[in-house]
Amino acid sequence: MKIVVIIPTYNECQVIADLIDALEVEFRAIANHELAILIVDGNSPDGTAVAVEAKAKQHQNIYLIIEKSKRGLGMAYIDGMNYAIRQMKADAFIEFDGDFQHDPKDIKRLVAELDNGYDYVIGSRYIAGGSIPQEWAWHRKFLSRFGSLFIKWLLGLPTNDNTSGFKLTRIAGFYDKLPLSIDKILSRRYAYKIHLLYVMYRNGAKIKEVPIKFLERQGGTSKSSPKDIFESLLVAFVLYKRRLLD
């Protein structure tokens, strides 16, 4: 199968080259699939795209989309997902952060569950064996953990990590159901993740959580903001209302 690792970036030039190298090493251990990297850069002023272009000269499986400007995490992923499906003819895609918070070594564990027949594999911080960074302030730990629990309860989800950024999606059977356009997606930012998870679940995806250790950023600065928390709750309430009307 063709599996595309989609990485949105905004000012990640400190680590993106090392991250690509680490992914390429890991890909060699997944011999039964064809893996590619698709970077969706928000026109970073720090030269992230230049660093990616240099790596693309070394490896043939690196693709780069440069957006006109920073449009939000959700929009970057939607652009990437549409490109992976339509232009790259992907069978599955993986959502992956560009700051080393996700461990490239975990990719093969997600892919193994695709091979086991699962459609949606979540790198989960909130099952046995998973974790979040110890360095996080208590309020970030609290909001992340209880936000995820609240979303699970509100939407009747079977999953424990409902805001994870590290996920594998099988495309066959789900592409036409996914809200992959600006007029369908409920958030252009982080909260798009809750919308896609809910749609996969409601459309009968076989879901598997595998434990991951979510690491601390290796460089650069965070783009997450308190707005993402409010938007996540808003998206969850909109989905809850839709569920009542279904």
Ligand X SMILES: Nc1nc2c(ncn2[C@@H]2O[C@H](COP(=O)(O)OP(=O)(O)OP(=O)(O)O)[C@@H](O)[C@H]2O)c(=O)[nH]1
The listed partner (Mg ion, ligand X, none) that binds 98, CB under 5 to 8 Å by sort, is: ligand X
Torsion of CA 112, 118, 119, 121, to 10 degrees: -60
Q: Does 39 bind ligand X (CB under 6 A)?
A: no
Which of 12, 26, 41, 99 lies at the binding interface for Mg ion (CB under 5 A)? 99
Q: Which amino acid is at 139?
A: H
The listed partner (ligand X, Mg ion, none) that binds 10, CB under 5 to 8 Å by sort, is: ligand X
The listed partner (ligand X, Mg ion, none) that binds 72, CB under 5 to 8 Å by sort, is: ligand X
Q: Does 73 bind ligand X (CB under 6 A)?
A: yes
Q: How far is the CA of 110 from the CAs of 73, 119, 182, in angstroms?
A: 22, 11, 28
* Smallest gap from residue 52 Cβ to ligand X (A): 12
Q: Does 222 bind ligand X (CB under 6 A)?
A: yes
Which of 101, 144, 159, 187 lies at the binding interface for Mg ion (CB under 5 A)? 101
The listed partner (ligand X, Mg ion, none) that binds 23, CB under 5 to 8 Å by sort, is: none
Alpha helices (runs of H) in 46-205, residue ranges in sequence order: 48-58, 73-86, 107-115, 138-155, 192-202
Q: How far apart are the first and last CA of the chain?
A: 35
Considering only the C-alpha atoms of the chain, give the largest distance between any 2 of them, rounded to a whole number of Å: 52
Backbone angles phi, psi at 9, to 5 degrees: -135, 140
Residues that bind ligand X (CB under 6 A): 8-10, 12, 40-42, 67, 70-73, 76, 97-99, 101, 217, 222-224
